[in-house]
Structure 1
């Protein structure tokens, strides 16, 4: 990717929630491309459908901790187990091939799931600091499911929030749009049919807690 792309849609932590993912992509409107900060699978009932969407749109994606758990056959929770049992071998191979981080747009945008220096570390909003940047204009993080952005003289640090399972007090699906030309970031939310996803979770035999927390936004 080159710097010809300026408006970039940012998504993260889809977690098998195809209904929320569709709502986000529909709401996003005109962007030059979309990138994903990992955790496409886990918790939710539609891992294959979400993977098909991400792969079909050729969305650059990094590995998340739930991808690692599913590929290794060591699931954290029932949604991971469901993904591990239902995804095809080619799906698992694709997940395994996701890189730890990606530098895109001639190095202007870095994507990593958790923390640029430490795998599985939560980078909470209070920890957003220009020291996290390493020469890129925009650092995109996920993992916490908390939507937040800080604009520094050195660049932008942004977590677009969770598409499929927000934990920041707002149950609406979260995403962001960054403008690499203007160096601005727009944090966005969109509602979706939570009850539909809750029923899919129950039908799949995934833990009821995973259904309840979608409306509890935590």
Structure 2
């Protein structure tokens, strides 16, 4: 199963559309949106025509329909999805990785820092796709794709592209 991972779109539908036009976005069955801004996830679902799991970021208005974090089960894996600001990810990801492990997740996805990351922490794959619209670690926007199959390690790819 091909999963798309995006974060920190900040209302830039041009960046979301450019991401969806990228060849790496073809065949994505489910998108994970790690917040800032949650309404962009609704537009992503309409444009991509596939399910989108979304969490609220520090730039989102409180809403009873958008949670601060989600535990998503896909293809035999459990993914903790959060924006990361409530875990202080800008100071380190240890608390977030620990929360994922305690929730029984083998993958933890966050945003907030606008910097891409792919690392293992205490047996949890910790991923940040960077920002699709306002990157801080490169000149291009970024997102990730992840191939998930039950019983196998995830295959993750970081994609950088020119946002509109």
TM-score, shorter chain, exceeding 0.5 = yes
Shift of 1:22: 0.6
* 1:137-162 deviation digits (Å, cap 9, x = unpaired): 21000111111110356131001111
Q: Which residue number corresponds to residue 120 of structure 2?
A: 151
Q: Which residue number corresponds to residue 71 of structure 2?
A: 103
Q: Which residue number corresponds to residue 24 of structure 1?
A: 19
Task: Provide closer, same or farther for how the CA distance between residues 192 and 164 of structure 1 changes in structure 2, counting only shifts above 3 A.
Answer: closer
Whether the aligned pair in 1 keeps the contact of 2:84 and 2:111 (CA below 8 Å) is yes
Q: Which residue number corresponds to residue 76 of structure 1?
A: none
Alignment of 1:190 onto 2:132: no
TM norm structure 2: 0.79
* CA RMSD, 1 decimal: 2.3
Counterparts of 1:52 and 1:113, CA distance in 2: 16
Higher-helix-fraction structure: 1
TM norm structure 1: 0.61
Higher-strand-fraction structure: 2
Match of 2:31 among 27, 30, 34: 34
Which structure has the larger Rg over C-alpha atoms?
1
- Count of residue pairs the alignment pairs up: 150
Q: Which residue number corresponds to residue 197 of structure 1?
A: none
Q: Which residue number corresponds to residue 60 of structure 1?
A: 53
In structure 2, stretches of 5+ residues that fail to align are: none
